[in-house]
Chains A and B, each alone.
Chain A
Amino acid sequence: MIEKEKINWIYKKIFTIRFFEERIKKIAKEKTVPGYLHTCIGSEAICVGVMAALNQDDWISSTYRNHGHAIAKGCELNEITSEIYGRKTGICKGRGGSMHISDFSKGMLGSFGIVAAGPAVVLGAALQEKINKSNKTCVSFFGDGAIHNGAFHEAAGLAKLWNIPMIFVCENNGYAEATATDWHLNTKELSDITKAYDMLSYIGDGNNVFEVYDITKKSINEAKQKNTPIFLEFKNYRFSGQYEGDTQLYQPQEEIDKAKQNDPIKLAKENSSKYGLNKNDLEKIINEAKEEVDKAFDFADTQPWPQPEDALEEVYVNYPVEIKT
């Protein structure tokens, strides 16, 4: 039984992410913001379901498709938006941009633009938790494209060898950039890849936020109890292209139509009464989410640009000679 407060939180976050990403798609079309944009439409349930099982100070890593993770992890919406706009008040002071939305104070170790960079970094945080006999949960998010990368395998091997109770969360959204997962996979199921490490793995419906939450919560307990890493594969569909502006010519219409039957937002709405939300409750949450997203974009648009010379700051903690211009 999930407490009422958490259900409300889940619904609020899942709608916030969807509205946020729809707004991003809009500004991408209008070309009003600089840089690359990657939206996570279709993976909201994974972002929210996993994060619902975490505390705010638990550690995660994300990727260039990070808006959903950042929102679900509790990063300030205004700061996220301001960062995407490249403004001084952005979450990374304008030095990161959309691909690197991350707030260390909210337990985000980083949002990495390099595929499969995150798992090893999270392994290190989890090693630190182990050495310091602390108990924070450590989760690395990555896509199906990352599972062929050596850095993922090296982290998986060490996590198992060292008995590190970290959670690998693979968002299997059907595409590695513009390459279909069923084409690049060498195993029947993606998670079969963990057999080489004798690692526990579970597969879940990544469109069902409550299933994601449930599997994640149980896995965290199991990982800590057994002192072992666990690999979670959540299947979903990437409705967005690899990036905004992607023509998506490679994604068949019937595939998209079929995936829409299981759209995570649609499922969340359908399930709402089961979780004790009536029509009014749902409407209230949806309106609040919409309003907060609108406010964040209005906020970002009014924020000051950084000074050009701000580029020279915080390269090092301490550097005794001048950073060259």
Chain B
Amino acid sequence: MTIKTVKEAINDALVQSFEEDKNVILMGEDIAGGKGREQYQGTQDAWGGPFGVTQGLYTKFGGERVRDTTIAEAGFFGAAIGAAMTGLRPIVELMYVDFAGVCFDQMMNQAAKVRYMFGGKQKVPMVVRTVVGAGFRAGSEHSQTLYSLYTHIPGLKVVAPYDAYDAKGLLLSSIKDDDPVIFMEHKRLYMTSCEVPDDLKPIPLGKGRIRREGSDVTIIAIQRMNLFAEEAANELEKINISCEIVDPRTYSPLDEELIFQSVKKTGKVIVVDESNPKCSLASEITSLISEKCFSDLKAAVIKITAPHTPVPFSPPMEDFYIPSTKKIIDAVKKLKDV
């Protein structure tokens, strides 16, 4: 057992995938960094992406497989699709998910659809690694989550790990997967750590995880919201309220069965999602529960989400924007009394 940060776990999964399969390549903006000035500074991967996640890959595997791109997401996302169709397993880095707009056509209309609309003859085994999340004082254009934007599109798979264990196991699976996968990394979780076995096996997509067993209330937590759910559950335990925390981990496909089992057990449900509320994962999961588990519910599902606003910059406003431990505690208490 080794303690790893999410950042290290992702780097480990990338290195392992590069070593296991020569068809794996990586493309993105400054995933090495410092291109054009190597001869002066003596460094060939100055950045490793803005968060240093891919540091060392260029040195280890070379510029043929680790390709710094121009700031041209439509160009290299499209290239990833063509490369994937013809035999490679490209991983592309979308520096922030907020940049989805400049290459959304490639994901929505090409990556997601070529298999279907051209008669099932081709596959697009590519992974988009992207950075999501508020809480970094990064402002409106570098802080969104946009989970539901991709989850909405048939043909795409969406993965959003919470801890280092899941980050490594799910990234290994995503790279081996034959469909296009959006792999969302939360910037506030990169430096969090947990035990990750060196020989961790790929974790299948579409399998959620019960992070904490409990009997009174089910908290379905999306990515970083697991942190607040856990804090809330610890507090509530002190006053003898038992919370079950469900982390779906992948949003397309979604482990509906795991969610329904927990709902059947407690009958009281809170969904916590850092995204904006309209047409969100929170509203999707809530709707599924009301459709499939109506008679098991003892109260209406409570959704805790960000407000219907862009992510604000200033700390007091941004902290208000992000769902909090307190909001979860209050909601659980409200449900407990039902």
Interface residues of A (CB under 8 A from B): 59, 61, 90-93, 95-96, 100, 102-105, 108-114, 117, 119-129, 131-132, 150-151, 153-155, 157-158, 161-162, 313-321, 323
Check A117 against B83 for contact (C-beta < 8 Å): no
Cβ 8 A contact of A123, one of B78, B118, B204: B78
Partner of B119, one of A91, A125, A157: A91
Q: How far is the CB of A121 from chain B (nearest CB, A)?
A: 4
Which chain A residue lies CB-closest to B87? A128
Query: Which residues in A have their C-beta under 8 angstroms from that of B255?
Result: 321
Given the complex, which residues of B lie within 8 Å of A114, measured CB to CB? 105, 109-110
Q: Quick one: given A131-B88, A314-B116, are A321 and B256 in contact (CB under 8 Å)?
A: yes
Chain B min CB distance to A139 (Å): 12
Asked if A131 contacts B119 (CB within 8 A), the reply is no
Knowing A127-B79, A154-B75, A318-B178, the reply to whether A121 touches B119 (Cβ < 8 A) is no
The answer to whether B178 touches A317 (Cβ under 8 A) is: yes
Which residue of the partner chain A has the closest CB to B118?
A102
How far is the CB of A111 from the nearest CB of chain B, in Å?
8
Whether the Cβ atoms of B81 and A158 lie closer than 8 Å is no
Question: Told that A154-B70, A323-B154 touch, could you supply 14 new A-B pairs with CB distance under 8 A?
Answer: A61-B82, A100-B117, A102-B119, A104-B85, A108-B118, A128-B87, A150-B74, A154-B75, A155-B74, A158-B75, A313-B120, A315-B116, A316-B179, A318-B178
Question: Looking at the complex, which one of A104, A127, A321 makes contact with B83 (CB distance below 8 Å)?
Answer: A127
Q: How large is the interface on B (under 10, 10 to 19, 20 to 34, 35 or more residues)?
A: 35 or more
Chain B min CB distance to A260 (Å)? 35
> Does chain A have a CB within 8 A of B90?
yes
Given A120-B78, A317-B178, A320-B205, answer yes or no on A95-B86 (Cβ-Cβ < 8 Å): no
Choose among A129, A132, A313 the residue with the greatest number of B CB atoms under 10 Å from its CB: A132
Interchain CB contact (< 8 A) of B253 among A113, A128, A131, A321? A321
* Bound-complex Cα distance A127 to B100 (A): 23
Binds A, one of B61-69, B269-277, B328-336: B61-69
B157 within 8 Å of A (CB atoms) = yes
Is B209 an interface residue when CB atoms closer than 8 A count as contact? no
Q: What B residues does A103 contact at CB under 8 A? A: 118-119, 121
CA distance A56 to B86 in the complex (A): 15
B108: nearest residue on chain A (CB-CB)? A114
Given contacts A92-B117, A112-B109, contact A124 B123 (CB under 8 A): no
CB pair A162–B85 under 8 Å, yes or no, is no
Chain B nearest CB, measured from A283 CB (Å):
36
Shortest Cβ distance from A292 into chain B, in angstroms? 22
A317 touches B64 (CB 8 A): no
Query: Please, which residues of chain B bring their CB within 8 A of the CB of A59?
Result: 82, 86
Question: Min CB distance, A229 to chain B, in Å?
Answer: 12
Which of B79, B155, B256 has its CB near the most chain A CB atoms (within 10 A)? B79
Minimum C-beta distance from B147 to chain A (A):
17
User: A104-B121, A317-B115, A318-B179 in contact; A155/B65 too (CB < 8 A)?
Assistant: no
Contacts of A154 in B (CB 8 A): 70, 72-76, 78
CB–CB B78/A117 < 8 A: yes
Taking a contact as CB atoms under 8 Å apart, the answer to whether B65 and A131 are in contact is: yes
Chain A nearest CB from B216 CB (Å) reads: 28
CB atoms of B119 and A320 under 8 A apart: no
Q: For the complex, what is the distance from the CA of A100 to the CA of B88, rounded to whole Å?
A: 24
Closest beta carbon of chain A to B209's beta carbon, Å: 15
Measured CA separation A112–B118 after assembly (Å): 10
Nearest B residue (CB) for A313: B120
Residue contact A120 to B106, C-beta cutoff 8 Å:
yes
Question: Is the beta-carbon distance between B83 and A124 smaller than 8 angstroms?
Answer: yes
CB-CB under 8 A from B77, the residues of chain A are 120
Contacts of A155 in B (CB 8 A): 74-75, 78-79
CB distance from B46 to the nearest CB of A (A): 18
Q: Does B319 interact with chain A (Cβ within 8 Å)? A: no
A117-B72 Cα distance, complex, nearest whole Å: 14
Residues from chain A with a CB closer than 8 A to the CB of B157 are 316
Task: Find out whether the CB atom of A321 lies under 8 angstroms from the CB atom of B82.
Answer: no
User: Which chain A positions have C-beta within 8 A of B114?
Assistant: 109-110
> Which chain B residue has the least Cβ–Cβ distance from A91?
B119
Q: Which residues of A contact B205 (CB under 8 A)?
A: 320
Distance from A69 Cβ to chain B, minimum over Cβ atoms (Å): 14
Q: Contacts of B90 on A, CB cut-off 8 Å?
A: 124
Residues of B within 8 A of A320 (CB): 204-206, 253
Report B320 CB to chain A, min CB distance, Å.
36
A321 touches B254 (CB 8 A): yes
Q: Is B246 an interface residue (CB 8 A)?
A: no
Given known A-B contacts A120-B79, A151-B78, A318-B177, A109 and B119 have beta carbons under 8 A apart:
no
The distance in angstroms between the C-alpha atoms of A96 and B121, with both chains bound, is 12
A95: shortest Cβ distance to chain B, in Å?
5
Enumerate the 5 nearest inter-chain pairs by beta-carbon distance, A residue then B residue, closest first. A120-B78, A124-B82, A154-B75, A314-B120, A124-B79
Which residues of chain B are near A151, meaning CB under 8 Å?
74-75, 78, 105-106
- The CA of A120 and the CA of B254, in the complex, are separated in Å by 31
- Give the interface centre of A102, A103, A121 by most chain B CB atoms within 10 Å: A121
Give me 21 A-to-B residue pairs in the complex whose CB atoms sit less than 8 angstroms apart, sorted by A's number.
Answer: A61-B82, A90-B119, A103-B121, A117-B106, A120-B75, A120-B82, A121-B110, A124-B83, A125-B82, A125-B83, A125-B85, A128-B88, A132-B88, A151-B74, A153-B75, A157-B72, A158-B69, A158-B72, A313-B120, A320-B204, A323-B154
Per the bound structure, the CA–CA distance linking A158 and B80 in Å amounts to 12
Q: How far is the CA of A104 from the CA of B102 in the complex (A)?
A: 27
Q: Collect the chain B residues with CB atoms within 8 Å of residue A119's CB.
A: 78
Interface presence of B261 (CB below 8 A): no
Assess whether B116 is in contact with A95, with CB atoms less than 8 Å apart.
Answer: yes
Q: Which residue of A lies closest to B206 (CB)?
A: A320
Shortest Cβ distance from A320 into B: residue: B206
Give the residue of A95, A153, A318, A319 whose beta carbon is less than 8 angstroms from that of B117.
Answer: A95
Bound: A124/B157 CA distance, A:
21
